[in-house]
Amino acid sequence: MAVAEELNFTRAAAQLHTAQPSLSQQIRQLEKSVGVRLLDRSRQHVALTNAGRIFLHQARDILGRVEHARRLARQAADGRAGDLSVGTFPSADVRILPALRPLVAKHLPDLRLILHSKYTVEPLAGLRSGTLDVAFMRGPTAAGDLELLELLREPIVLVLPSHHALARRKKIPVKSLDDLPCITMERSLAPALHDATAALYREARIRMHAVSNADNVLGHIQLVQEGLGFARLPESLVALLPAGVTFRPLACDPAPMVSIVVAWKAGNGSRLVREFVNLARLCGTTP
């Protein structure tokens, strides 16, 4: 690059702090390695060949990428660059990630987020195996080998067909749910949500009439849309409701709540994880 830019071996050698014969020898070795002549040169004249012009363009790109790699390596050591595998789930997709992405772009521009849905990588297993660096999960949860930070708490609401009689109310009394057809989910898929709704029924001394089961949020909403029953979902998910499906809060105090937490493996000293968690903290606001 120095010879091509100066088109003079004496000036290029001075720029590189080397002797001119050594530089000439290095150019000859480079041309031998490439297999073509890169420079037309005589005692009075140095010029790039067509092959030399192409090689110069690529050399600039390569050296630029080497410098970029150095910068990324330094930033990675400082916890400001690298790849981060992040587990997520629908409520975090709606409530956390839209606010978090611009913060990451601003404060950690060289961080690449690799997102994994809870339906492809189970969060607890992913964190413990190292497949995930951090994960957004539903809380509360108890896991002694993980560190957790609660980002927000949100109420559980009823999701029901828009034409349902209860949809005419602003708030729905818990007693009115007695023996009313509802959509359920296995506890293993959403322990916090399952336990909060089970406690609601137990404390109100009403019967849960489960008519169908879905293993994901969209499945719940689709079954509600088909009129099979109502669902109990966190408030953040109302953003996903299609036409013909609405939601209503419960008329009880306190309202049943669940939280969104960000979790990482205990003892993980990665500065990148800490920086990411600090940004996630800024996105947690309880409704």
* Range 153-258: architecture per CATH: 3-Layer(aba) Sandwich (3.40)
CATH class label, 81-151+261-281: alpha beta
As given in the structure block, the two tokens for residue 257 are: 């709540």
Range list for CATH 1.10.10.10 in the chain: 2-77
pTM over 0.75: no
> What is the rounded CA–CA span in Å between residue 223 and residue 207?
20
Range list for CATH 3.40.190.290 in the chain: 153-258
Q: What is the DSSP annotation of 39-60?
A: EEE-SS-EEE-HHHHHHHHHHH
Q: Which residues pair with 226 in a beta bridge?
A: none
Range list for CATH 3.40.190.10 in the chain: 81-151+261-281
Judged by phi (left if over 0) then psi (alpha if -120 to 50, else beta), residue 258 lies in beta
Q: Give pLDDT < 70 ranges for the chain.
A: 75-76, 78-81, 285-287
Q: Is the domain covering 2-77 a CATH 1.10.10.10 domain?
A: yes
**pLDDT value of residue 254:** 86
**pLDDT value of residue 80:** 65
**pLDDT value of residue 81:** 65
